[in-house]
Amino acid sequence: MVELPKTLEEAIAQSREATKAAIADGYSRVLVELVFPELKAMPVVQQFLPTFEEQSSQLKVFFTDAGAAALARRDWGEVPFKIEDLGNNKAAIERKIQSEDEIFLLVEPSAVEIAQVEQLCQLAASRPVVLLVPRLEDAATIGIGYAARQLRDRFLSTLESCYYIRPLDGAAVFRCYPSPWQVWLEVGEDYQLIAEESQKPVGDALDQILAKATTPTTNTSTENTAKPKKPGLMTNMQRFLRALSR
């Protein structure tokens, strides 16, 4: 069983292996989701790039805007892969995709760019597209009624979250492909696995899992009463992320 990571480096290392496993199993649209508000994407990208070491000359890295792409070109210097910005329409994206490209990495796409993200995936066809640190959790609510439902059915449902970690208050939702979705509960200084699900646990389903695990039994003794907790693993990771973002 894959354990909940203790550091950001460990999480990125896990995400690299999960990505390779998902692509090897035939998934061509994969998400690597590190859901931390303080997270800066660029250090994550640099640690994630060795995932494609064997295909580096056929890799194309897309950023959502020209400024971020230019910054990466400046800071990374000579690299074996191409760096592009996503552009704002399908024609612009099409011009930047060549026949020799074998795999695409899209950095930090948000719900604002959902149309371009879908177009990139369409143009990539069967070639893998990896969405790294995406901010698409609100994408399903774009538009109302039929339009939003179409977006979910047509595109969002085709994305496979091969790696996901999101801290909650005293808990975490975690997935590392090919393992199922997991819910972990903070217990003292550690985290304990309390549920495994085939689908991502959200909303009422997640609330029920947490409520079941945290509801005290009628035989609770004074020895089992809650004591002041020391910082847990997720708290330590959040502190690390805050330090990284300064």
In this prediction, residue 224 carries a pLDDT of: 42
pTM of the model: 0.86
Can you read off the two tokens belonging to residue 104? 């695409």
Residue 76: φ, ψ to 5°: -90, -20
Task: Report in angstroms the alpha-carbon separations of 227 from 39, 141, 172, 223, 234.
Answer: 31, 40, 20, 9, 18
Can you read off the two tokens belonging to residue 44? 């994550």
Residue 1 lies in a domain: no
- The whole domain housing 167 covers 8-245
In this prediction, residue 42 carries a pLDDT of: 94
Residue 3 lies in a domain: no
Question: Kind of pairing, strands 181-187 and 129-132?
Answer: unpaired
Residue 2 lies in a domain: no
In this prediction, residue 92 carries a pLDDT of: 92
Residue 223 lies in a domain: yes
In this prediction, residue 237 carries a pLDDT of: 59
Residue 84 lies in a domain: yes
In this prediction, residue 221 carries a pLDDT of: 43
Residue 237 lies in a domain: yes
Q: State the total domains in the chain.
A: 1
Residue 210 lies in a domain: yes
Question: Per residue of the chain (246 residues), what is the pLDDT tens digit?
Answer: 889 998 999 999 999 999 999 999 999 999 999 999 889 999 999 999 999 999 999 999 999 999 999 999 999 999 999 999 998 889 999 999 999 999 999 999 998 888 899 999 999 999 999 999 999 876 555 555 656 667 767 888 899 999 999 999 899 999 999 999 999 999 988 899 999 999 999 999 999 999 999 887 544 443 443 433 445 555 655 554 554 444
